[in-house]
A and B are shown apart, each in its own frame.
Chain A
Amino acid sequence: MERSRAWEVMDTDCLSNIFRRLDVDDRVLAIPFVCKSWYHASIDPLCWLLLDLRPLDFMPRSPFALRFTKEYSLQPFAFTFSGFLKLVVHRSQGLASHLMFPLVFGPSLDDLVFSSKKCSSLKTLVLPRLEQEAENQLPELIKHWKDLEELEMESKPSSFLELVAQISVHCDKFSGLKMFGHIRMEDSWALVNSLPKLKCLNLSKSCMSKEELMVMIEGLREMESLIVNECIGFQVDDEVKRRSLSIQNFEYEGCELRVDDAFDTHEFDCLHVFGLWG
């Protein structure tokens, strides 16, 4: 019978189901130019729920930037991260559930404010290290992301305590946090007091002592996964293991008490080692 397949007349729903699995660059640079019906399927907001911008190189003269500039006949050097962000966010029509910013050439304060207003359905947000201005504003923006479940940050922001407080007020479903930095006692207590229902916590490559770790293990009673690989400042001894028995997934590979014997653990500032704070 009709043995002539016709990919251009496939149901739009079928097509957009395929397209939403593609990387963002395929969705922007290839699919819309294939044929009319693919173009129409490609602008279905359901194709744009997942906005993972991490694999893309936003450097001004990167192959991706050049290809985009050529494909869309932009003025030379007109390509910007902000422009691209606007495009993909516009496509999602407010339905985006995952927004993952690239680690290099990440969002300015304006980009963050824009995302908070236009992506109010976000469940997962991945942030690179932010500029000071954006870091300071981050807690203010949290109220726009009421559905937020997971937050991943390249480093612990200086506004961390305020951030946690805002998450506690506005994000009922919040359950997962990933970041690294210097975890102080007040940070541990902030997590325990403000986010007692946290299920997944990943603090790999952080700097903290056993005391700070124990506060979280004891205080976060619903924790299912705790990952503290390659941390500095403690070692997982029998006591830690015993107290953490109720945590289904506890990973602690490569933890070290200290980096250099010349330093006293309590005074030693690991941030210099990681070069986090310049």
Chain B
Amino acid sequence: MLSKVSRVFDILLIIAVPIGLYFAFIYAPVEAKMGIVQKIFYFHVASAWVGFFAFFITFLMSISFLISRKFIFDDIAEASAEVGLLFTTIVLVTGPIWAKPTWGAYWTWDPRLTTTLILWFIYVGYILLRQYIADVNQRAKFSAALGIIGFIDVPIVFLSIRLWRTIHPNVVQKGGGGLHPDMLTSMFVCLGIFSIIYVAILLKRLSISSLERRILIIEEKK
């Protein structure tokens, strides 16, 4: 069942990724001031969206696990956190590549970028915690608590960092106000395609989890 759905998404990706590349590199015009480096924007924003969405899924699955104690929710929470961490890493790498030619520095303590960094730390902690607890039951409960608290924390982190940056006046202004309509279209296409990539990777990660559980059962029966 899982592998069939996963196959469908694989095929979907073969079609979708070239479309995304077309929209990002050919359909969308080259930005006048920033030039070709602005193309990274489509991947940067889409990754940020997927990363955040993935952690939201972890949050929902953590709540579901604590209520129902069904380990499938724990599996999804873990898988989604790992995929989310992958995409926030992409955000943190593409952000500086974009920032250097645009703002003259690799890293700016922009509220969004900084919040993403904190988010990254929270979920690195989440994954480390999972690795360091041997007992399946405790691992699921404790990481669910972290999955809930970590996600609720994000808006408060964002607010506090924004408040911090408005106190220090050297905050870099976002370049360019409105986006060209073609750029906006391309961005939404990329958002959609990255969402498909998210689901595809999530399904692959879930089938690994179910294999792991099956190995545990076989070992148990021995």
A, B in one complex: no
Chain B residues within 8 Å of A, Cβ to Cβ:
none
Chain A residues within 8 Å of B, Cβ to Cβ:
none
